[in-house]
Chains A and B, each alone.
Chain A
Amino acid sequence: MTAATETAHRRPSVPDWIWHLAVAGGVVAWWLIYRQLLPLAEWLTAQLPVARDSHTGEAVAFFLYDVPKVMLLLALIVFAMAVVRSFFSPEKTRALLSGKREGVGNVLSASLGILTPFCSCSAVPLFIGFVSAGVPLGVTFSFLIAAPMVNEVALVLLFALVGWQVALTYLAFGLGIAVVAGWVIGKLRLEGWLQDWVRDIHTGANAPGPVAGPALRLVDRYAQGIAAVREIFGKVWRWIVLGIGIGALIHGYVPEDLMARIMGADAWWSVPAAVLLGVPMYTNAAGVIPIVEALLGKGAALGTVLAFMMSVIALSLPEMIILKQVLTVRLLAVFVGVVACDILAVGFLFNLIF
């Protein structure tokens, strides 16, 4: 089939300019709605038979403002990120990383981890694909740590519920952990600790990937963005509502200094405890961040809370079980140990600084 008939074959009815117009219109509508959220939430709360300054009023106003705000921000950012990601692919990333030296390779790998489309169920094939094509082990780990930890859902929620400073800090330190942990693992020279069958696969940097389809047009990328928004909402909306609901309860009812005592900066053990607590918890960023926000508001220390969040997202039991297919238990233990140490360091550092 030639390229011309190919293009004609797809989406024959709607011309491209209508799509561009619709996307532009969508962004403007988004902005107009977003600006009206606070007055709308206050008005809605005022209609309810509860006093605005009571515990219940406090919780309700928080809930009514935060749920739509988070949903709107998520929709916009997830769409934008999907469009950006449509320019990247694991195959291209592998070609860029193959044979890269450690150090530079770790930084590049962690950054590409954010931009390359990735789903945690592909962790194993991606791992093998990288390692067998000559991407150094440590560089591969930098990718695998950054990809789930620094994701737009976590960043949007932090931005919306806690503030841009914390979101930016999380981005920087999430990347930092991915770079450092991958670099350390690379320095340890643990290639021998891979499962035997993984070591035996050598495909080379130009291993065959899927045959290239017709080149994507901007309109196709919009479609991918819309599909991503749909998928995220199908998956996480109930976590967000639940998380913000719990957050609202903590916001309205938990006494001001309770969290300061349990999760404050003075208790040295609070950071390791937060990391340990995070490992068995398996929820996505969407469920955990509203709780994080409420905890912070009640005086929990920022370092402790960030350590908890990073541990929940980066060190999850199900992911370890998946990785066990390609890593020996020793290597898996090193991976968990190195990442946990880095998270601890970030937690302590933050509690010291802020």
Chain B
Amino acid sequence: MKTVKVFGPGCARCETTAAMVRDAAARLGLEVTVEKVTDPKSIALAGVMSTPGIAIDGTLVHAGGLPRPEAIERWLQA
């Protein structure tokens, strides 16, 4: 099972991103744990400079702006 971390201070886009990840996982029939990281220090240490950021199993795959749904599916399947 993959662990997905969504980095962001809790703005609307970060919420949307977390929901998009869950949707994508549901479409693919994958089980994932989505964890939201809102603490600024942890966000910075993960190397995220613009939010929302997404890390999958510890690898940062996205930072800044809403990701595209196709991209999320690709990351989840990789």
Partner-B contacts on A (CB < 8 A): 1, 9-10, 89-91, 94, 117-119, 121-122, 124-126, 128-130, 132, 197, 201, 203, 207-211, 213, 227, 322, 325-326
Q: Is B1 an interface residue (CB 8 A)?
A: no
Residues on A with beta carbons closer than 8 Å to the beta carbon of B50: 89-90, 117-119, 122, 125-126
Residues of B near A207 (CB, < 8 A) are: 47
Q: How far is the CA of A211 from the CA of B47 in the complex (A)?
A: 11
The answer to whether B70 and A129 touch across the interface, beta carbons within 8 angstroms, is no
Instruction: Give every chain B residue within 8 A of A118 (Cβ-Cβ).
Output: 50
Once bound together, how far apart are the Cα atoms of A136 and B74, in whole Å? 38
A209 near B45 with CB under 8 A, answer no
Q: Name the one of A1, A132, A203, A326 contacting B40, with C-beta atoms under 8 angstroms.
A: A326
Which residues from A are CB-within-8-Å of B60?
Answer: 208-211
* B68: nearest chain-A partner, CB-CB: A223
Task: Report chain B residues within 8 Å CB of A119.
Answer: 11, 13, 50-51, 65
Q: With A124-B9, A125-B40, A210-B53 in contact, is A1–B78 under 8 Å at CB?
A: yes
Q: Would you give 30 A-B contacts (Cβ < 8 Å), ordered by A?
A: A9-B70, A10-B70, A89-B64, A90-B64, A91-B63, A94-B49, A117-B64, A119-B51, A121-B11, A121-B51, A122-B49, A122-B64, A124-B43, A124-B44, A125-B7, A125-B43, A125-B50, A128-B41, A129-B47, A129-B49, A130-B49, A201-B45, A207-B47, A209-B60, A209-B63, A210-B60, A210-B63, A211-B59, A227-B66, A325-B40
Minimum distance in angstroms from A124 CB to a CB of chain B:
5
CB A85 to nearest CB in B, in angstroms, measures: 10
The answer to whether the Cβ of B28 comes within 8 Å of any Cβ in the partner chain is no
Q: B residues within 8 Å of A by Cβ?
A: 7-9, 11, 13-14, 40-41, 43-45, 47-51, 53, 59-66, 70-71, 74, 78
Query: Given known contacts A129-B49, A326-B40, what 18 new A-B pairs fall within 8 Å (CB)?
Result: A9-B74, A90-B50, A91-B49, A117-B64, A117-B65, A121-B9, A121-B51, A122-B49, A122-B50, A122-B64, A125-B40, A129-B44, A208-B60, A209-B60, A210-B47, A213-B61, A213-B71, A322-B9
Distance (Å) between the CB of B54 and the closest chain A CB? 8
B51 touches A125 (CB 8 A): yes
Residues of A within 8 Å of B74, CB to CB, are 1, 9
B13 pairs with A121, CB closer than 8 A: yes
CB-CB < 8 A to A325: which residues of B? Answer: 40
Neighbour of B41 across the interface among A10, A117, A121, A197, CB < 8 A: A197
Alpha-carbon distance between A9 and B78 when the two chains are bound, in angstroms: 14
Q: Is the CB of B64 within 8 A of A201?
A: no
Query: From A125, which residue of chain B is reached at the shortest CB distance?
Result: B43
Least CB distance from B34 to A in Å reads: 18
Residues of B within 8 A of A126 (CB): 49-50
Closest A residue, CB atoms, query B64: A117
> Looking across the interface, which residue of chain B has its beta carbon closest to that of A90?
B49
Minimum Cβ distance to chain B for residue A8 (Å) = 12
Complex Cα distance, B78 from A119, in Å, reads: 29
Given the contacts A94-B49, A210-B60, A211-B61, A125 and B44 also touching, CB distance less than 8 Å: yes
Q: Do A210 and B62 have beta carbons less than 8 Å apart?
A: yes
Q: Which of B7, B8, B44, B66 is in CB contact (< 8 Å) with A128?
A: B44
Q: Which residue of B lies closest to A212 (CB)?
A: B61
Distance in angstroms from B67 CB to nearest chain A CB is 10
Q: Is the CB of B11 within 8 A of A210?
A: no
